[in-house]
Structure 1
Amino acid sequence: MITVLIVDDEALVRAGIRMILAPVDDIEVVAEAADGAEALAAIDRDRPDVVLMDVRMPGMDGLTALRETLRRPAPPQVIMLTTFDMDEYVHGALHAGAAGFLLKDTPPRDLAAAVRTVAEGHAMLAPSVTRRLIDAYSGQPPVVGREARQRLAALTPRERDVIAAVALGLSNSQIAGRLGMTETTVKAHVSRSLTKLGLSNRVQLALLVRDAESG
């Protein structure tokens, strides 16, 4: 069972998300929160697997709560939710360590799929968000690319091969098949790469690879 915390300052939005997820057999909403501070308390108390976090909230906003969440030991996966697909929120959330970014008008079926996807350790982005990221990274200044390549130099050639495949959106099993290794070895390479680079998840790895390929 995948346990979920819903964080949004609007009670109707929380109720709507709960209603969408309630019939899903393998997902259970264990708590709700109206702002970032309540979310942190609920995370400590209920230990959810996945947090659906609104970006714009009074008091502690979603980005601040995201950063505080990821400082905790064994933090949950966090999907950021918003009515806006503005670049500043997308980049801020993903670089901070969000596992996904969805718009609030995401179809119910896709919302449940997103929860499952991030619970398995994969990234999940709304199609419009993905398009904006691709457009943004095509125009990154050269210095960004140089700095990213310098960071990646700390990895072994095999680790770089693995995270390049991660940046393509491949699963561990797909990477294993492509590179001729076991899934366990792939997971080990990803884990070591995250540690060496000081990153939180596969989304950040993918963004760093994209940075290195720009400029």
Structure 2
Amino acid sequence: MALPPQKAAEPAVALTRRELDIALLIANGLSDKQIAQRLGISHLTARKHRANLQNKVGVSNSCALVFELIAAGCLPHADPEPVNYVEASNQRASLTVM
């Protein structure tokens, strides 16, 4: 007996378009002032958006906010490019100082 196809999981947190914009910028490491400048809003408004997002998700800092939004499927998860530390170390060792 075949199982019916599963639907994609709905995100546990529903974000408005503006909240998603703010969340993506927070995830990219932008400060409230940088977010404000990017979106053409006051830095106090950007700060309020961040606080509202944190309250909505139930966290107390930006790192936890991004983590929870990724876990809930609200933000895309991008794996960073793997770093070959041995190769990077060898490249640094081969540099000469003049």
Q: TM-score, normalised by structure 1?
A: 0.29
Quote the residue 2:81 is aligned against. none
Unmatched 5+ residue regions in structure 1? 1-145
Cα deviation digits, residues 35-79 of structure 1 (max 9, x gap):
xxxxxxxxxxxxxxxxxxxxxxxxxxxxxxxxxxxxxxxxxxxxx
User: 1:200 offset after TM fit, Å?
Assistant: 1.3
Quote the residue 2:54 is aligned against. 194
Larger radius of gyration: 2
From 176, 182, 205, the equivalent of 2:42 is 182
Is 1:151 matched up with 2:3?
no
From 18, 22, 37, the equivalent of 1:162 is 22
Counterpart AA for 2:28: L
Aligned residues: 67
Cα deviation digits, residues 176-196 of structure 1 (max 9, x gap):
111111101001111111111
Quote the residue 1:117 is aligned against. none
Asked if the contact 1:164/1:209 (under 8 Å) is kept, the reply is: no
How well do the aligned residues superpose, as a CA RMSD in angstroms? 2.1
Identical aligned residues as a percent: 35
Counterpart AA for 1:164: L
Q: TM-score, normalised by structure 2?
A: 0.59
Counterpart AA for 1:197: V
**Higher RCO by CA contacts (8 Å cutoff, separation 6 or greater):** 2
Distance 2:16 2:58 in 1: 15
Runs of 4+ in 1 over 4 A off after TM superposition: none
Asked if the contact 1:176/1:182 (under 8 Å) is kept, the reply is: yes
Distance 2:12 2:36 in 1: 24
Distance 1:161 1:173 in 2: 15
Unmatched 5+ residue regions in structure 2? 1-8, 78-98
Counterpart AA for 2:22: V
Asked if the contact 1:194/1:200 (under 8 Å) is kept, the reply is: yes
